[in-house]
Amino acid sequence: MTTDRTCDLSIIVPCYNTERYLGEALASLERLKVSALEVLLINDGSTDGSMALMADAARRDGRFRVIDKANEGYGATVNRGIDEAHGSYVGILEPDDFFYDGAVERLLDVALTTGADVVKGDFTFYWSKDGGRDVPAGVISSDMVDRPVDTRVDTRIFRAKASIWSALYRRAFLNECGIRCQTTQGASFQDTSFSFKVYASASQVRFVDVPVVHYRQDNEASSINSKDKANAVVHEFDVIDAWLDECSDSDHRDALRLEAQVGRFNAYLWNLDRLGDETALPFLEDMAAWYVRAEKDGSLDLSRWDGWRLANLRSIERSPMRYLALRRRFRGDSSLSKALFALALGGPSTLLAALSERAGRS
């Protein structure tokens, strides 16, 4: 890489058959008011019209560069972008999402001013029907904003949804720590282990209280809507566990292992709610077996788990079938449905544990 090709920011856009939504993503990239910018549009073997849209965008905007390659999957495509990037900082935009105007510029200003390893903003869950609807994700606590955070000590970000596309990463930091996505072709959730390694390695993270990305929820081809790939996220936590076994950071390993085990628990239950009847029970039985084994071999320390998660785990271990039946019976986002589920699961004490956990998140 020559010096004259360096820039402040590289945005990586891994594209595979997203013609329907790509135009909106490209428009938000063209509106970026960053002169020292490169946008790497990486075509991962698309068979629709995505490549033509990317080529048109590159003709309109000299900051865009198209990389055309055979299909390898999301992880390998993001990694290709990181390897080819010239920016001091690297960001990622998935082609069915789009940026909020002004948000990337805000993150970059903080990044260049502070030299942080990571600068992260929030995002919104987005539905395109009826003119568009956004719901704040709320992954950043107000007391984390406008100060340096060592996420190996303040580990709250590990409990939030992995959202690698609402942050900028110092490219040298990623390279020094060897942080890349998993590359299993056809797998999903390959941002899970990437996100964990980032916050388990960073000594300075800056959080910015602005929404960065409209995170689309109504793309039926998206991994979040694929019921066939639930085990992919479990594999990501196997990768995290293996990485922690080799981790030289002994000062933080115990806290990070706790976050990995809680993260695995959360991922199991999030995926459970998306599975059909024929696959949900075996998936839950696998979950129970994993935690039973971990407790028996001494690798699972439940003394620091909150009472609500522990109540759920014990119920799953006792009877996966009963737990699944109760979860399906009281499924819903309302406070009432969640309260009824807690009462059915373990009575008033479990309801109090659920309320305490909810208050802690707030």
* All structural domains of the chain: 3-225 (3.90.550.10)
pLDDT at residue 219, as a whole number: 57
Element of type H or E holding 54: helix 50-60
What mean pLDDT comes out for the span 234-251? 88
- Measured between alpha carbons, how far is 102 from 107 in angstroms, rounded to an integer? 9
* pLDDT level of residue 1 (50, 70, 90 thresholds): very low
pLDDT at residue 277, as a whole number: 79
- Measured between alpha carbons, how far is 97 from 126 in angstroms, rounded to an integer? 9
Burial of residue 128 (number of CB atoms within 10 Å: 0-12, 13-18, 19+): middle
What mean pLDDT comes out for the span 323-347? 93
* pLDDT level of residue 15 (50, 70, 90 thresholds): very high
* pLDDT level of residue 287 (50, 70, 90 thresholds): very high
Question: What percentage of residues in the chain have a pLDDT greater than 90?
Answer: 77
Q: Is 340 helix (H, G, I), strand (E, B) or coil?
A: helix
* pLDDT level of residue 130 (50, 70, 90 thresholds): confident
Instruction: Say if residue 221's pLDDT is above 70.
Output: no
What mean pLDDT comes out for the span 101-130? 96
CB 203 within 8 A of CB 140: no
- Measured between alpha carbons, how far is 143 from 134 in angstroms, rounded to an integer? 24
The string over 42-54, giving b where at least 16 C-beta atoms fall within 10 Å of a residue's C-beta and e elsewhere, is bbbbbeeebbebb
Lowest-confidence region among 27-31, 66-70, 88-92, 273-277: 273-277
* pLDDT level of residue 187 (50, 70, 90 thresholds): low
- Measured between alpha carbons, how far is 162 from 106 in angstroms, rounded to an integer? 21
What mean pLDDT comes out for the span 327-350? 93
pLDDT mean across residues, the chain: 91
Higher pLDDT, 234 or 197: 197
- Measured between alpha carbons, how far is 199 from 196 in angstroms, rounded to an integer? 6
pLDDT at residue 239, as a whole number: 93
